[in-house]
Amino acid sequence: MNAIKFPAWLMNVTSSMIIGPFIIVMMLSMMVLPLPPFVLDIFFSFNIALAIMVLLTSLYTVRPLDFMAFPTVLLVSTILRLSLNVASTRIVLTQGHTGPAAAGKVIESFGHFLIGGNYAVGIVVFIILTIINFVVVTKGAGRIAEVGARFTLDAMPGKQMAIDADLNAGLIGEQDARRRRTEVAQEAEFYGAMDGASKYVRGDAVAGIMVTVINIVGGLIVGVVQHDLSVAAAAKDYTLLAIGDGLVAQIPSLVISTAAGIVVSRVASDQDIGKQLLSQLLAKPNVLWIAAGLLGSMGIIPGMPHVAFLLLAGILGGAAYLQRYRNQQSAEVVPETVTPPADAEEATWKDIIPVDTLGLEVGYRLIPLVDKGQGGELLKRIKGLRKKFAQEVGFLPPSVHIRDNLELKPNVYRITLKDVEIGRAEAHVGQLMAINPGMVNGTLPGIAATDPAFGLPAIWIDPNLRDQAQLLGYTVVDTSTVIATHLNHLITENAADLLGRREVQQLLDHLATDFPKLADELIPKLLSVAALQKILQNLLAEDIHIRDMRSIIDALSEAAPRTQDINELTTAVRVALGRSIVQQIFGSHQELPVLMLDTRLERLLFQAVQASGEQAAIEPGLADTLVKQVMQAAQQQEKLGQPAVLLVPAALRWLLTRFLRRMVPQLKVLSQAEIPDGKSVRVSHLIGGQT
């Protein structure tokens, strides 16, 4: 008959669903079912092998999350040891009168080899191992896990804010942000689980002492009363078995407790514990020389063990010599080549250097941030923010030309737009900026500063204060992120000036790849490239994205035959983009809280527009009152967490935008024609009610 073949995926799912529960049930069954000595030997050997594997895995892990299953392994290994203790106790008490081999070869070997058949020595060794495991290793690892869990939970809000800041600045993508958020949550869960699992190990140590005492006392009673053994013979057999059983359980427990301490006590790095010890403990030859000298001095003192001290001194001296030789080899100095001065040449048109649209100049101490050879992170971050800007705003900004400037202070950088400075700040390589978002509950030592992008108070701190700063509520970012965020803020703020004729033409060429005839019908038949550039700049000046070029071209194609006025064409485009504009400001809310003008004030402004057209001016007294009321209303809206939006008739929108743009920069002015159908308007403040 043909054998029945099951699908491979079914076999994999079945095995993964059965193995875990089967192991747990098997370990719990060992507490109830009697096991022969041979099976006990196998399980005791497996317990020792498991402890060694766990210790080696902890030594080779780089981060605690690399061994995320450790708390579960700790619990399972503890249950395994307790089950073996119960199973071995049953055999010791029932078969101990037959001799030391009653509970298997492993317990007998530990009893003879480790304690030499001396009961007093065995008891002392067992007590010492238990004290080391319970008082030192397990208690210390549990305390570190407890503190680590508390600090990790307290630092979660700051880490989440840092992730959100990197995501908003375009330094990371959505997938990276999701992965980092998951790691933050997993880290907190890991330390919490380690804190709880360490309690099992401490309980296991206490249980080991109690089981050993029970085996000795119970064995004496059983051997003397039930099997008619003499007290000396019963003490010899049962004490040997009890101590051997206790040592077989405590040694793997000590190994796993040591592994737990290594995992929770190590600092996150890109090296395992072995590489850290070699790279940090033996990295400085001077330390090795001094240690060798001290050991050598102790070795020549009369009465001291000369061979041991002098041998170690020689080994450390040789290690110091090899380390210094390696350092000299790795720090080879390249000789400077002196080039003879060239003859002066006549000036040519090549000497005229074109002005860079975007520039970043750094002091000499900030050069490592922009040097590829030194692993500068800022270059990668600038590429990321340019990509994010293009995806959100709708056009690719010019490349950022980076150069060093010896005229700047060493830690200062400046950002230029068409060779004109638009931003300057100070940064410190190797330090972190702790930004106060307004809800910190403590102070930090460092250099007081101000976040260059948003003007928040901040402090430059050492990297080892990161966890403390996040615990206090600070948002901690590195130097590259500070500069990249500042650059991103200025690029977004000056998007209208970055859109040149070349960018507009590239935008049209990109549009032609998907809609070849759409742009050809508008440019140059109905509108010039220069006019389109001015319209797009008007939109960008009011923080309106131009990603939807198809709607923009459609609106201009419809309006351009009627008028060539740039402001009227901009108004037509804004109406076409109304749904996008409202969503950009209000999100998906159906009710829009807005500011509106009193009817008498509207009437006065209409009269001014009808009398003077586009060059209309507002009477000074009225203008002062208008600015004060709009500013107060905008501030109240911001306190409520709502955007400051002034809703006016279409004929007044351009006049009020031009007038209020500099006075109240956070204010957005929308026309009533831009509100899409399905949105309701709620008047939060009425401007000019007392005019």
**Strand 457-461 vs strand 432-435: parallel, antiparallel, or unpaired?**
antiparallel
User: In angstroms, rounded to a whole number, what is the distance separating the alpha carbons of residues 271 and 547?
Assistant: 45
**Cα 412 from Cα 364, distance rounded (Å):** 9
The domain ranges of the chain are: 23-275, 282-327, 359-495, 499-576, 589-691
Q: Which CATH number fits domain 499-576: 3.40.720.10, 1.10.8.540, 1.20.1530.20, 2.30.30.140?
A: 1.10.8.540
What does the pLDDT look like over 286-298, one tens digit per residue? 777 777 787 778 7
Per-residue pLDDT of 640-650, as tens digits, reads 888 888 888 88
Helix ranges (DSSP H) in 169-284: 174-221, 231-265, 273-276
Spatial contact of 557 and 648, defined as CB atoms under 8 Å apart: no
Residues in Cβ contact with 285 at an 8 Å cutoff, skipping those fewer than 6 apart: 320, 321, 323, 324, 327
pLDDT at 150: 67
Residue 10: what pLDDT?
44
Distance CA 155, CA 150 (A): 9
Assigned fold of 589-691: Rossmann fold (3.40.50)
Helix (H) or strand (E) holding 91: helix 70-95
The CA-to-CA distance between both ends of the chain, in Å, stands at: 101
Are both 499-576 and 589-691 of the same fold? no
Q: Are strands 420-426 and 432-435 parallel, antiparallel or unpaired?
A: unpaired
According to DSSP, the residues that pair with 416 across neighbouring strands are: 359, 421
Cα–Cα distance, 465 to 458 (Å, whole number): 14
CA distances from 210 to 85, 97, 239, 459, 585 (A): 11, 21, 14, 55, 69
What is the amino acid identity at position 545? H
Distance CA 390, CA 383 (A): 11
pTM of the model: 0.54
Residues 6+ apart with CB under 8 A from 224: 230, 231, 234
Mean pLDDT by 10 residues, the chain (691 residues): 48 54 71 74 79 79 71 77 77 69 68 64 74 70 66 67 68 76 74 68 71 76 75 72 74 76 63 61 72 78 73 78 72 50 65 81 87 78 87 88 87 91 90 88 89 90 89 89 91 89 86 77 81 90 87 87 87 89 86 87 79 63 82 86 87 82 84 85 80 38
Q: Phi, psi (5° rounding) for residue 566? A: -65, -40
Q: CA 243 to CA 112: how far, in whole Å?
A: 10
3-state per-residue secondary structure call for 460-523? EECHHHHHHHHHHCCEEEEHHHHHHHHHHHHHHHCHHHHCCHHHHHHHHHHHHHHCCCCCCCCC
For 229, residues 6+ apart whose C-beta sits below 8 A from its C-beta are: 97, 223, 237
For residue 335, give the DSSP letter.
P
Tally of residues, the chain: 691
pLDDT of residue 487: 92
359-495 carries CATH number 3.40.30.60: yes
